[in-house]
Amino acid sequence: MALWRRTRLLLFVSVLCVVFTGSASALQFFGVEEEIRIGSDIAAELEAEHGLYHHRSWNGSIDRMGNELAAVSARPDLPYTFRILDDDQINALAVPGGFIYVYRGLFDAIDTNDELAAVLAHEVAHVANRHGMNQLERNLIVSLGLGLVLRLVFGADGQSLLWDLASGLGMDLLIKGYSRENEFDADRTGIHLMQRAGYDPRGMISFLEKLQRMEARQPSRLAVWFSTHPPTHERIDAIEAAIR
């Protein structure tokens, strides 16, 4: 109940900030415990939709490498998990709370440990930099509106309504993708994580160049990737500049 009372208060204050300042990002009102709860709800939906793929070598690699990268991130204490979705798409995604997923099809585009580390570092960076939660909180404040927030603050059913809305907005975020700024920031942060964990950050470039070549041959398998990320050539240019 203490968490919910705190959340109600921060929601109310946040809405006052929106009303009087026009800013939907004035406050961070979800703590780590709430973030993990929201993330676990979203993760359960993803796993129910796609199913999990189990491959001893692949699961072992993403778990080992992912935890190496998470350990040198800005949020090493989150309970990170690294899993494979049983889907042929070439894609990966990060869920708030430390739930990192790669699609089974991604391994068709991976040839080296550095390339796999690049994908995982990018996703860990989204979580460590709190991209998903920041965007979810902004969207939540805007979606609620003053009247609904007052209902959440004073209504008996406010807690369940809050979690349902937050989880729904989280799924919507995964479908639409992160902002352009968040994607470039995840690349830059991912480079640093790779260097700290002992991987060659140029694996990020070789992986993206491979996706460019694959796009002409298998566009359907890369449709989700290219719809939720900035143009690949722009990312490669930015990564090369950051490495230099």
pTM value is: 0.79
Whether 216 is covered by a domain: the verdict is yes
How many other C-beta atoms can be found within 10 angstroms of the C-beta atom of residue 188?
A: 16
Number of helical H runs and strand E runs in the chain:
10, 3
Nearest partner of 73 among 112, 131, 30, 115, judged by Cα: 131
Question: What's the pLDDT score for residue 74?
Answer: 97
Q: Name the domain count of the chain.
A: 1
Give CA separation, 24 vs 16, 28, 56, 126, 201, in Å.
10, 10, 44, 20, 35
Long-range contacts made by residues 159-162, C-beta under 8 angstroms, separation at least 24? 159/4, 162/7, 162/11
Q: Provide the 8-state DSSP code for 229.
A: S
Question: What's the pLDDT score for residue 16?
Answer: 46
Q: What angle (nearest 5°) sits at the alpha carbon of residue 122, between those of residues 109 and 92?
A: 50
Whether 106 is covered by a domain: the verdict is yes
The SS3 assignment for 167 reads: helix
Question: What's the pLDDT score for residue 228?
Answer: 67
Give the H/E segment covering residue 92: strand 92-95
Nearest partner of 35 among 141, 166, 168, 126, judged by Cα: 166
Q: Per-residue pLDDT for the chain (244 aa), expressed as one digit of tens each?
A: 455 555 554 555 455 454 434 444 445 667 899 899 889 988 998 999 999 999 999 999 999 999 999 999 999 999 999 999 999 999 999 999 999 999 999 999 999 999 999 999 999 999 999 998 888 777 776 655 544 554 555 554 555 555 555 555 545 555 566 888 999 999 999 999 999 999 999 999 999 999 888 877 777 776 766 676 788 889 999 999 999 8
Whether 145 is covered by a domain: the verdict is yes
Whether 23 is covered by a domain: the verdict is no
Whether 20 is covered by a domain: the verdict is no
Question: What's the pLDDT score for residue 146?
Answer: 46
The residue type found at 113 is N
User: How far is Cα 16 from Cα 11, in angstroms, rounded to an integer?
Assistant: 9
- Look up the domain containing 238 and give its range: 32-243
Whether 47 is covered by a domain: the verdict is yes
Whether 234 is covered by a domain: the verdict is yes
